[in-house]
């Protein structure tokens, strides 16, 4: 299987969890050092893992990632397309065009490129499961994150459409939509005074998620327990979208 953004946060938690469940994991991350660290944790626990440095915004790197998975493990059954970057926190008129391009390239184009190469590999193997990381920002609006929300709404739409396109090939595609989660990326986005308190207040449960809680949702969507779930965007958000 492949986990993108596997060097930290939700991706690392998912890579470790899938490995504990018997998965052979390609840990893909833009940071080769962080990918190797996660892969090392897996191998130290007796699992099998391969670290791959990947910028998911680059087509050739995504193609190489899938090819290296096939070379190492013989097939691709599961992909968790989780790599992403956060919002700059600017209102739309103040958003920098280069920031828009980078956020869109990683969060939206990156998921497209991963699926572009994962789906043919799964097709050759007789099927598979893809879980994409979207966000509650792909389901509802939130002030100050127009660029990020646009990409995550795009991931939800692309997930639903791709799911319909490929379920006939035994390729099941869904998305997980985390609420606020205690990851390094989220921590960086909350440096401004009052932002953490404001975001936490949106969650009726009264706290942020741990990365492992999102990883368990991804594991469920990838498992046979979710065999009749197709094209779904699953909120894991402490009640945020229930309001």
Instruction: Output the pLDDT for position 75.
Output: 97
Question: Rounded CA gap, 147 and 72, in Å?
Answer: 37
List of the chain residues with pLDDT < 70: 88, 185-196
148 catalytic per annotation: yes
Q: Which residue has the tokens 């449960």?
A: 205
Instruction: Output the pLDDT for position 9.
Output: 96
Instruction: Output the pLDDT for position 192.
Output: 62
Instruction: Output the pLDDT for position 143.
Output: 85
Q: pTM for this structure? A: 0.94
Instruction: Output the pLDDT for position 230.
Output: 98
3 forms bridges with which residues in the sheet? 27, 80
Question: Rounded CA gap, 74 and 46, in Å?
Answer: 19
Instruction: Output the pLDDT for position 93.
Output: 84
> Are the CB atoms for 68 and 119 separated by under 8 Å?
no
Question: Rounded CA gap, 70 and 64, in Å?
Answer: 10
Please pick, among 73, 80, 117, 148, the residue that the annotation labels catalytic.
148
91, exposed or middle or buried, with CB in 10 Å at 0-12, 13-18, 19+? exposed
**What is the DSSP code string of 20-86?**
HTT--EEEEES-HHHHHHHHHHHHHTT--EEEEE--TT-HHHHHHHHHHHHHHHS---EEEE-----
Q: Which domains does the chain have, with CATH numbers?
A: 2-242 (3.40.50.720)
> Are the CB atoms for 209 and 238 separated by under 8 Å?
yes
């Amino acid at each position: 299987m492949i986990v993108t953004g596997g060097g930290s946060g939700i991706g690392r938690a998912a890579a470790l969890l899938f490995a504990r469940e018997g998965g052979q994991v390609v840990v893909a991350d833009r940071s080769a050092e962080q990918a190797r660290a996660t892969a090392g944790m897996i191998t130290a626990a007796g699992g099998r893992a391969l670290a791959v440095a990947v910028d998911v915004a680059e087509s050739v790197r995504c193609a190489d990632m899938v090819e290296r998975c096939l070379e190492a493990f013989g097939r691709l059954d599961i992909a968790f397309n989780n790599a992403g970057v956060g919002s700059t926190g600017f209102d739309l008129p103040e958003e920098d065009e280069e920031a828009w391009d980078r956020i869109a390239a990683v969060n939206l184009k990156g998921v497209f490129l991963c699926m572009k190469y994962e789906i043919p590999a799964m097709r050759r193997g007789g099927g598979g499961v893809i879980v994409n990381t979207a966000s509650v920002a792909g389901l509802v609006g939130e002030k100050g994150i127009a660029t990020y929300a646009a990409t995550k709404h795009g991931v939800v739409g692309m997930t639903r459409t791709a799911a319909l396109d490929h379920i006939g090939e035994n390729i099941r595609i869904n998305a997980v939509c985390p609420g606020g989660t205690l990851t390094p990326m989220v921590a960086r986005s909350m440096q401004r005074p009052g932002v953490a308190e404001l975001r936490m207040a949106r969650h009726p449960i009264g706290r942020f998620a741990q990365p492992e809680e999102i990883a368990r949702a991804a594991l469920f969507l990838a498992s046979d327990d979710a065999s009749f779930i197709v094209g779904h965007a699953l909120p894991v958000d402490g009640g945020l979208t229930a309001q």
